[in-house]
């Protein structure tokens, strides 16, 4: 077996490549169209958080310097898409008084997975230190991520913010991982490996499943009910890991009914449903 009971690349790809079971290109086009519409309607500013041109983020302000701040990290299996494709996540949050930040980061194979994690940590540190350029309260920061972004937020809640950044250890008030990937061990055997170029050390260092959680604040793990067995299992075993590390921590797991890997984000647009309710619970 290559990974658990998956004995071939074809078996792994069938579980982890949603493009094989869903019309992904159409879903991505909708993301892009909705994001363009959101940018046309909502005030936003682009800021640099790092030295390279790709290290930037978009701030969609709620218009209140005391507003909660929600920071979103996009998916794309660490090798595709950008923040421009996910501006729509601000669509329903901003009218509810939540300043929304959408983070961009470099992609594999131009950079390593470790560099992506470093960039995203730097982005969140920038948000805290600047409070999104005066557009929100640094003590009311929540984060979410989709797919590969779920791995990123999993790593953020395992970050020692005090030691490495001089920031409060509990700076993330709430974490929501949507269709997250917490155990990277299948991916060296998948269609992704030529782009990701994962090493054995990467699998240990950047799988949230193998990192001790640093945060005790709530974390919510959401998966579309129509997603593959492996996507569900990834969230289930990560929930077990978090609960074992801190039985007192709020760790919730939930299936989003009638949703696949791409439609699971629809709540960001509509402002309704389990996803949006979960997001609001982290900012109230």
Q: What is the pLDDT of residue 210?
A: 99
What is the pTM (predicted TM-score) of this model? 0.98
Q: For residue 283, which of 128, 99, 140, 136 has the smallest C-alpha distance?
A: 140
DSSP string spanning 82-139? -GGGGGGGGTTTGGGT-EEEEE----TTTS-HHHHHHHHHHHHHHHHHHHHHHTS-TT
Q: Taking a C-beta distance cutoff of 8 angstroms, is the pair 119, 55 a contact?
A: yes
User: What per-residue confidence (pLDDT) applies to 246?
Assistant: 97
Using one digit for the tens of pLDDT, what is the confidence trace for 65-95? 999 999 999 999 999 999 999 999 999 999 9
- Cα within 13 Å of Cα(200), Cβ side: 0
Query: What are 157-168's pLDDT values in tens digits?
Result: 999 999 999 999
One of 3.40.50.1820, 3.60.40.10, 3.40.50.11540, 2.60.40.1930 is the CATH number of 9-281, namely 3.40.50.1820
Q: Which residues in the chain land under pLDDT 50? A: none
Annotated domain spans of the chain? 9-281
Give the C-alpha separation, 165 to 222, whole Å: 29
Q: Tell me the two tokens of residue 263.
A: 């439609």
């Amino acid at each position: 077996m290559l990974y658990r009971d998956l004995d071939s690349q074809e078996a792994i790809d069938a579980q982890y490549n949603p493009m094989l079971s869903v019309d992904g290109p159409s879903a991505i086009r909708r993301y892009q169209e909705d994001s363009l519409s959101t940018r046309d309607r909502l005030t936003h500013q682009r800021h640099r958080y790092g030295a390279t041109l790709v290290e930037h983020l978009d701030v969609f302000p709620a218009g209140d310097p005391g507003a909660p701040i929600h920071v979103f990290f996009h998916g794309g299996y660490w090798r595709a898409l950008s923040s421009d494709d996910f501006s729509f996540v601000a669509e329903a949050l901003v009218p509810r008084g939540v300043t929304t930040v959408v983070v961009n980061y470099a992609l594999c194979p131009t950079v390593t997975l470790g560099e992506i994690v470093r960039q995203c940590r730097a982005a969140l540190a920038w948000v805290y230190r600047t409070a999104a350029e005066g557009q929100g309260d640094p003590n009311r920061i929540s984060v979410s991520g989709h797919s590969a972004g779920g791995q990123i937020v999993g790593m953020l809640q395992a970050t020692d913010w005090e030691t490495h950044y001089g920031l409060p250890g509990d700076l993330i008030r709430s974490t929501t991982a949507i269709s997250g990937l917490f155990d990277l061990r299948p991916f060296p055997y998948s269609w992704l490996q030529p782009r990701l170029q994962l090493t054995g050390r990467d699998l240990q260092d950047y799988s949230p499943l193998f990192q001790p959680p640093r945060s005790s604040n709530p974390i919510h793990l959401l998966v579309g009910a129509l997603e593959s067995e492996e996507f569900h299992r990834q969230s289930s075993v990560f929930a077990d890991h978090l609960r074992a590390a801190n039985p007192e921590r709020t760790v919730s797991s939930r299936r989003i009914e009638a949703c696949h890997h791409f439609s699971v984000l629809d709540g960001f647009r509509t402002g309704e449903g389990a996803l949006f309710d979960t997001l609001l619970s982290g900012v109230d």
